[in-house]
Copies of this chain bind each other. A is one copy, B any other.
Amino acid sequence: MAGCCAGLAAFLFEYDTPRIVLIRSRKVGLMNRAVQLLILAYVIGWVFVWEKGYQETDSVVSSVTAKAKGVTVTNTSALGFRIWDVADYVIPAQEENSLFVMTNMIITMNQTQGLCPEIPDKTNVCKSDADCVAGSTGTHSSGVATGRCVLFNETVKTCEVAAWCPVEYDARAPEPALLKAAENFTLLVKNNIWYPKFNFSKRNILSNITTTYLKSCIYDAITDPFCPIFRLGNIVANAGHSFQDMAVEGGIMGIQIKWNCNLDRAASLCLPKYSFRRLDTRDVDHNVSPGYNFRFAKYYNDLTGTEHRTLIKAYGIRFDIIVFGKAGKFDIIPTMINIGSGLALLGVVSDSDLSVPPGLAPSSAVVSTAR
């Protein structure tokens, strides 16, 4: 029992420390201080000032809505004089983080279910019924072949298909783009962000923006950096592309909103930063399957109840709104951890990593039993 107590006392009250040698040497002393300085600079400069090691960080949670505005007219032989407004060119009417503006199209009006010849093409030009396999559908065919070979026009015969007739002829997108005036349309982006850890939320319509300003402003990196209304042409130009080129075949533009906030400062300094980038990179020399398009149809019933449809192959620009950012705020835990590991680093390097080469024989050494 007594031995046990003595052991506990020894465990509690005794302390081991290495015997220390004090070396009086300019070279070694200076080298030691220099290494310590380096570590201190690293800990303070890099960990604390640059990486803000004293802050707890959080990633942004965001919600986005986008709304286009603008009207234009087209005057084509097929459609006549026609007005296009937002309900006509935004498809679908709403999406979560994205908005599609149709800039060009191939319209096939008044299709009905029936039988008609395919558009001539390598695979479906035929001489006789023997060239057409009934019931077959190629990847690029518009319908199911009936097995008959019929006249497409006076000179060419193609396989007949059961399809929405007449079938679409989509050889090339119109150039210039039909809705080329979309360059002047505007896009209002509303973005609310939230940092859950700090329960901090903010919107991109800042509190000093008035209804009047919002009715007339257009985003400009220099003059109006906080106006949330973007001219489509400017978005594409800022990303270094030509709107008129992009409008023909379509494409995808990213509108990036960065919310990097230091919440140790005033909330009013936490501001959105906009940037623009084309997301469908396109090698000039490797132009396979360029642009962005899809097909949709508007359905009608006529007097007899037969279903008609207008098929539209829509080319256009999809605007994807990408929100990212990081907020930091002072917090005791990361501060302590970083100070601790900084001190540990200092301790390790001071004590162990400075090997003294033989040439640097100490000019004098004093043994000290405790530091």
The residues of B that contact A356 with a CB separation of less than 8 Å are 17, 370-371
* A279 part of interface (Cβ distance < 8 Å): yes
* A225 part of interface (Cβ distance < 8 Å): no
Contact (Cβ within 8 A) B21 A33: no
The residues of B that contact A302 with a CB separation of less than 8 Å are 301
Contact (Cβ within 8 A) A17 B21: yes
* A289 part of interface (Cβ distance < 8 Å): yes
Contact (Cβ within 8 A) A203 B21: no
The residues of B that contact A92 with a CB separation of less than 8 Å are 91-94, 296
* A78 part of interface (Cβ distance < 8 Å): no
Contact (Cβ within 8 A) A63 B320: yes
Contact (Cβ within 8 A) A311 B72: no
Which of B23, B292, B347 contacts A349, CB < 8 Å? Answer: B347
Q: Give the residue name and chain of the B residue nearest to A285 (CB).
A: B207
The residues of B that contact A29 with a CB separation of less than 8 Å are 12-15
The residues of B that contact A14 with a CB separation of less than 8 Å are 22-25, 29
* A299 part of interface (Cβ distance < 8 Å): yes
Contact (Cβ within 8 A) B22 A21: no
* A186 part of interface (Cβ distance < 8 Å): yes
The residues of B that contact A340 with a CB separation of less than 8 Å are 345
Interface string of A64-90 (1 = CB under 8 A from B): 010101111100000001110111101
* A367 part of interface (Cβ distance < 8 Å): yes
Contact (Cβ within 8 A) B30 A23: no
- How far apart are the CA atoms of A233 and B95 in the complex, in Å? 23
The residues of B that contact A164 with a CB separation of less than 8 Å are 83, 85
Interface string of A185-210 (1 = CB under 8 A from B): 01010101010000001110101011
- How far apart are the CA atoms of A23 and B369 in the complex, in Å? 9
In chain A between 345 and 367, which residues have their CB closer than 8 angstroms to a CB of chain B? 345, 347-356, 361-362, 365, 367
With A93-B296, A362-B370 in contact, is A289–B349 under 8 Å at CB? no
- How far apart are the CA atoms of A201 and B17 in the complex, in Å? 54
* A298 part of interface (Cβ distance < 8 Å): yes
* Smallest CB separation, A68 vs chain B (Å): 9
With A21-B370, A162-B81 in contact, is A65–B288 under 8 Å at CB? no
* A344 part of interface (Cβ distance < 8 Å): yes
Interface string of A90-133 (1 = CB under 8 A from B): 11111111101000000000000100000000000000000000
Contact (Cβ within 8 A) A23 B17: yes
The residues of B that contact A242 with a CB separation of less than 8 Å are none
12 further A-B contacts with Cβ under 8 Å, apart from A72-B144, A343-B353, are A13-B26, A15-B354, A65-B318, A71-B142, A83-B164, A90-B294, A92-B296, A96-B96, A207-B283, A211-B288, A211-B289, A298-B299
A-B contact pairs, 17 of them (CB 8 A): A13-B26, A16-B22, A16-B23, A61-B254, A63-B280, A65-B280, A71-B137, A85-B143, A87-B311, A90-B294, A92-B92, A92-B94, A96-B320, A139-B215, A190-B289, A300-B300, A350-B352
On A, residues with C-beta under 8 Å from B are 11-26, 28-33, 61, 63, 65, 67, 69-73, 81-83, 85-88, 90-98, 100, 113, 137, 139-144, 162-164, 184, 186, 188, 190, 192, 194, 201-203, 205, 207, 209-211, 214-216, 252, 254, 277, 279-281, 283, 286, 288-289, 292-303, 308-309, 311, 314, 318, 320, 322, 340, 343-345, 347-356, 361-362, 365, 367-371
